[in-house]
Amino acid sequence: MKIAVFSSKPYDRRYFETYNKDYNYELSFFDTNLNAQTSNLTQDFDVVCVFVNDQLGKEVIKALANNGVKLIALRCAGFNNVDLEAAEQYGIKVTRVPAYSPQAVAEHALALILTLNRKTHKAYNRVKEGNFSLDNLIGFNVYNKTVGVIGTGKIGQAFCKIMLGLGCKVLAYDVTPQGALEEAGVTYVTLEELYKGSDIISLHCPLLPATQHLINDKSIAQMKTQVMIINTSRGGLINTEDVVKNLKDRKVGYLGIDVYEQEENVFFEDKSEQIIEDDTLLKLISFPNVLITSHQAFLTSEALTEISKTVFSNIYEFVNNQSLTNEVKQ
């Protein structure tokens, strides 16, 4: 079984090679993203293993089918970058890793909140330079604040429990409310009520046509002045230009993002010696109340272990004509 692993990093290779010892598949690692320009690299592979910024539209999937690929094995939970209709049309199965470590992402969302609020990143840099002043480091108590959680899947549930543990009032919105969360103290409300009532809003929903640019001028207008917005889900949930405008107007008080709508051109790479040409990203970086991490919320040893194990389990089921536990269909 020949597997092409795209968008691979040293940590992907380390964990995949460790857990491949139980399967002995033939792994080939490619640093590049899978897209229309690189689809020729899939010739004679049975499986492609892809990540969040690989682009598998209809043209790419047609090329995969012509090259003999039979399975797209996502090593992430989201699948908005795959044309599922085209995959079905060309007879290619799609699997994913639905829950590699909900706690990893939820805890990173908390890290963004606390860092933005208490300005620990700025304090660290000051002390490194011998500056022990406390000027402009004033934060607020997270305790007793109202936190709005959009999306209460596994990650959203983990995040709700963390915020309840900090003594917050938690409002949630999801098309499928979770009874266990309600019993724990979470209150499900409409999106409008969540926008109006929350001091902090954290996004944990998938990117779908219905959630594209969920955070925009209209929704921000309903929020409290100086609201904190956190996104560890998918960049397309936020209309970045609208958020930039509301940061300038001081309607949005804090923005913490681990994902960005145009991240495939920047994230996961060392750009320190290059000129970044994304003007919107440069605007965001310039704000003192914006914190950006480069899609690292998932990056824990526990998550990488679970990703590797689940990807190989998905491939094993496919190879042995078993029911695909984590198959994605349109």
CA distance 200 to 223: 10
Of all residues in the chain, the percent with pLDDT exceeding 70 is 100
The average pLDDT across 292-311 equals: 96
Query: Is residue 306 very low, low, confident or very high in pLDDT (cuts 50, 70, 90)?
Result: very high
pLDDT in tens, 228-244: 999 999 999 999 999 99
CA distance 71 to 5: 12
pLDDT in tens, 307-327: 999 999 999 999 999 999 999
Sheet with 252-257: strands ordered across: 187-188, 169-173, 146-150, 200-203, 227-231, 252-257, 290-292
CA distance 26 to 49: 12
What pTM was computed for the model?
A: 0.90
* Alpha helix stretches (DSSP H) within 208-239: 217-221
Query: Is residue 291 very low, low, confident or very high in pLDDT (cuts 50, 70, 90)?
Result: very high
Q: What is the pLDDT of residue 100?
A: 84
Helices vs strands, H then E, count in the chain: 12, 12
pLDDT in tens, 207-221: 999 999 999 999 999
> Over 90: is that where the pLDDT of 91 sits?
yes
The average pLDDT across 30-41 equals: 96
Query: Is residue 279 very low, low, confident or very high in pLDDT (cuts 50, 70, 90)?
Result: very high
Q: What domains are there in the chain, each with its CATH number?
A: 2-100+300-319 (3.40.50.720), 102-292 (3.40.50.720)
Q: What is the pLDDT of residue 77?
A: 87
Give the residue numbers marked as catalytic. Answer: 234, 263, 295
The average pLDDT across 275-288 equals: 95
